Structure 1
Amino acid sequence: MKKYLILLIFALTQLSANAQKVNLNQFSFLTGSWEMKTAKGKISESWIKSKDSLNGKSYRHALSGDSVLTEVVVIKKIGNVFHYCVTGLEKNNTGTTNFKLISTENNIFIFENKAHDFPQRVIYQNKGKDQLLAWIEGEMNGKKMKSEFPYLRKK
């Protein structure tokens, strides 16, 4: 039993160490504009890299052409670890919540905040030059939930 516990601690330490070796350039795949069509219009994200952070904005666009800024996001280091810091701007979704980077394996960047109501994880997967898959997941009222956002690069 002690042997398995030591292996588990080692594995968790390695995952955390890998997440901490990330530099800002590894998030460069996000830069630019992305959009996803929905039944009600589309959702878009745009990202700009600055000296020490990546800054993003998310919008909902109605079929009528009206748009609403829904979130402002900053990916930045807090201490020695990158965080996904999101400020919600929709009704009942205000304030900033930080999600800590916990994994960067296989071009999948996982940010987690177990104390947040929903989601507890925000994930981005680099799927190449023109495709990006983002999703949020976690539990709400004891039920596991997941919402995916398959984005295409806006030309």
Structure 2
Amino acid sequence: MPKCLSLLGLLASASVLHSAVAAETASLGSLNWLAGCWTQTNGETGTGEQWMTAAGGVMLGTARTVKNGRAVGWEFMRIEETEAGQLVFTAKPRREAEASFALLRLSENEVVFENAQHDFPQRISYRRDSAQAVSASIEGMLKGRLKKIDYPLKRVVCEVTKET
């Protein structure tokens, strides 16, 4: 039994080490699956996100929440590669201060950013469910309780207004 526990401990350590190495060598281009226009499946028309592909060391995004036909929330976002090669998610929500979140975990289909010092959220996640669906979420402690908000997104054609 002790050999079994030792092996489990070794495997767990290797997994943590692999995650740390993956975070240190993360490539911004590996997040291009997030690029495009997304509508929130449980939101009102116009609610969603739009992300540009990675270029020049940054991905730029915007988000908008519409309720009763009016924009009640929006934010500007960016995922950038620092000079040290780390990925950082920064958001500037409407009427709030800008906040940055360091890469916690990155895989082929998921990216998680965290800032334990931020009020709420402390963690921001995007998971690719398919080429046409992404699950976004924010989570953390709020008023002494763990809270998670999910944003199911589906890919849509980006709207372009034609000049008349």
Name the TM-score, length of structure 2 as normaliser: 0.79
- Compared with structure 1, are the counterparts of its residues 60 and 120 closer, same or farther at alpha carbon in structure 2 (3 Å cutoff)? same
Q: Which runs of 5+ in 2 are unaligned?
A: 1-7, 158-164
Q: Distance in 1 between matches of 2:41 and 2:9?
A: 46
Q: Tell me which of 19, 26, 33 is aligned to 1:15.
A: 19
8 Å contact 2:76–2:91 — kept in the other structure?
yes
8 Å contact 2:121–2:140 — kept in the other structure?
yes
Identity %: 22
Q: Which structure dedicates a bigger proportion of its chain to strand?
A: 1
Q: Is 1:25 aligned to 2:29, yes or no?
A: yes
Q: Distance in 2 between matches of 1:35 and 1:73?
A: 16
Task: Report the equivalent of 2:117.
Answer: 115
Name the TM-score, length of structure 1 as normaliser: 0.83
Q: Which moved more, 1:55-64 or 1:141-150?
A: 55-64
Q: Distance in 2 between matches of 1:42 and 1:71?
A: 14
Q: Is 1:47 aligned to 2:74, yes or no?
A: no
Q: Distance in 1 between matches of 2:144 and 2:153?
A: 29
Task: Report the equivalent of 1:154.
Answer: 156
Shift of 1:80: 2.0
Q: Is 1:145 aligned to 2:150, yes or no?
A: no
Q: Distance in 2 between matches of 1:102 and 1:39?
A: 28
Shift of 1:125: 0.3
Q: Tell me which of 55, 61, 66 is aligned to 2:66.
A: 61
4+ residue runs over 4 A deviation: 4-11, 39-42
Q: Which runs of 5+ in 1 are unaligned?
A: none
Shift of 1:62: 3.2
- Structure (1 or 2) with the larger CA radius of gyration: 2
Encode CA deviations 1:73-102: one digit per residue, 9 max, x unaligned.
010012221010111114xxx121111111
Q: Secondary structure at the match of 2:124?
A: strand
Q: Tell me which of 17, 36, 40 is aligned to 1:36.
A: 40
Count of residue pairs brought into register by the alignment: 151
Letter matched to residue 148 of structure 1: D
Q: Distance in 2 between matches of 1:80 and 1:6?
A: 28
Q: Secondary structure at the match of 2:116?
A: coil
Encode CA deviations 1:121-154: one digit per residue, 9 max, x unaligned.
0000011211011001111122111000000011
Encode CA deviations 1:24-52: one digit per residue, 9 max, x unaligned.
21110111100114465552100112321
